[in-house]
Structure 1
């Protein structure tokens, strides 16, 4: 990169995740610390195309580190998928005097950033903000820790009811393509079975597991189901299948849904977001671009955005083994 960075833009894109506000705060204050201007872009790429910018300073981000969601809003933008839309976005950035931007989001957001920087050679750094923890190049994404704690808290409450009424609960959690939330929350909450997209365990194994649980003296059971699980078409069909083949169970379904995205971020996510925001600004000032900030072995690293979006992260096989042992 040959240009000098004098003004950085920051925005959030795609699905919201707890800790995004902490990352915004970090980028804004790291810019102020380095005595460079920072502008916020509202509504992601849509706001970029429409020139929805706001000048920021260190005081603009007071009292947001503890808030869930994103103060900059987020939106899907079909227009940015087209060359004409990206050209309009570039023109708005240049009109505002923006030299580089930091995008906080997931795979879709980074895919747009890769295309944009290829076309306009524009300096870009990504910060992974998604509850799914599915991006290559980082052990943790911002929001994942908060999400699994939210899920565990919900399952603990559901278990109280399950135990009181001797019921089997299917609890559906987010995870269309990866089962990180289901696996981690399932182990943490002591679930009797965990169904994830990475492994089609089959309906017979599920029945066998529930039979063993009943035989061992368990009066209630919790089965965690990632929404992308391949065992059944959906969690309600799983319920019907078990009721048909194991009528001894009183079966209920609880779909946690978007509550997993909300809530105040945990300390872990606040600290991670703060570290990544500073790293993103430092990286731009050092002349780096088209990279994502990640964390590995508690050290911040950079991964090319094109690598980060190539595939989803793999499931932790050691943790999968632990889950199998714990359900005995």
Structure 2
């Protein structure tokens, strides 16, 4: 592998709180190591449009506390084609970029791995997604902040639920992963949690809510991941209402509220560690790897393994505990 002189960093896919902290760490670590640093604005679309930004240490001042991504993000259908990736690579070469740091989730990593395999450019991925659904890291950037946002909402919803003897169905993000729903359900004291990874029959949910009512529970919170197979919060609430007509039932969809906000201290530190680790990995000759945190240590995982959802499982002990604590 030739000596790396110019490293580019970009964000792609859904934004996540802490991405700016990761960008800051990548840029400043690269500069400290004597490398030139470039930001690619709007991810893969920016590669194709030559939307490059030369960066120095001051380029990343005053961003660590902000959510979103200063480099912005965009979907790019053209990059999905071989012709689009070739165009992007030629633009990188023209700019003198000889290594990449990709911040994002499985879609971002899929594109990065393809580009690296087809043209040989070194790439390291940093897991930036609120879904926490990548294999090879205990936590992804943005997950902690998103959970805190959900918990704050649940706490406020519970106040009004208790005041009016209501059941609230709260839908959280998680099309393929129930990680946010599971953790928020435990931390928020939810009476039930519905997840994409676990089939929950409506009849079983109704039975649980009836048992709670019989044991003098006057209000309940049910957390539903958007990818739950029962069809989302509105559909679940409608079916429960048909059986539990004595309850006042309400639905709250938290939606993209979960992606925003200032990143938590944990996400800022995590992003900084992974950004620092990503640059060091590149300079040590690594490529097509994701830098992650396992057992509080920065470790590398092949990108292909990181995005393999068949190897990603929710914690079985948390699933059991969530059920036990709802009695």
| TM-score normalised by L of structure 2 | 0.99
Give how far 1:237 is off: 1.6
Partner residue in 1 for 2:161: 162
Partner residue in 2 for 1:16: 15
List runs of 5+ in structure 2 lacking aligned partners. none
Runs of 4+ in 1 over 3 A off after TM superposition: none
Alignment of 1:1-328 (within 5 A): 2-230=1-229, 232-311=230-309, 313-328=312-327
List runs of 5+ in structure 1 lacking aligned partners. none
Give how far 1:111 is off: 0.3
SS at match of 2:309: coil
SS at match of 1:140: coil
Q: Distance in 1 between matches of 2:102 and 2:71?
A: 12
SS at match of 2:199: coil
Q: Distance in 2 between matches of 1:234 and 1:310?
A: 25
Q: Distance in 2 between matches of 1:264 and 1:129?
A: 15
Give how far 1:233 is off: 2.1
Give how far 1:311 is off: 1.5
Q: Distance in 1 between matches of 2:236 and 2:54?
A: 51
SS at match of 1:101: strand
SS at match of 1:89: helix
What is the count of residue pairs matched by the alignment?
A: 326
Q: Is the 8 A contact 2:101 2:278 kept in 1?
A: yes
Q: Distance in 2 between matches of 1:233 and 1:96?
A: 47
Give how far 1:322 is off: 1.1
| TM-score normalised by L of structure 1 | 0.98
CA shift digits 1:229-270 (9 cap, x unpaired): 11x222112111111111111000000000000000000000
RMSD: 0.7
Q: Distance in 2 between matches of 1:121 and 1:252?
A: 53
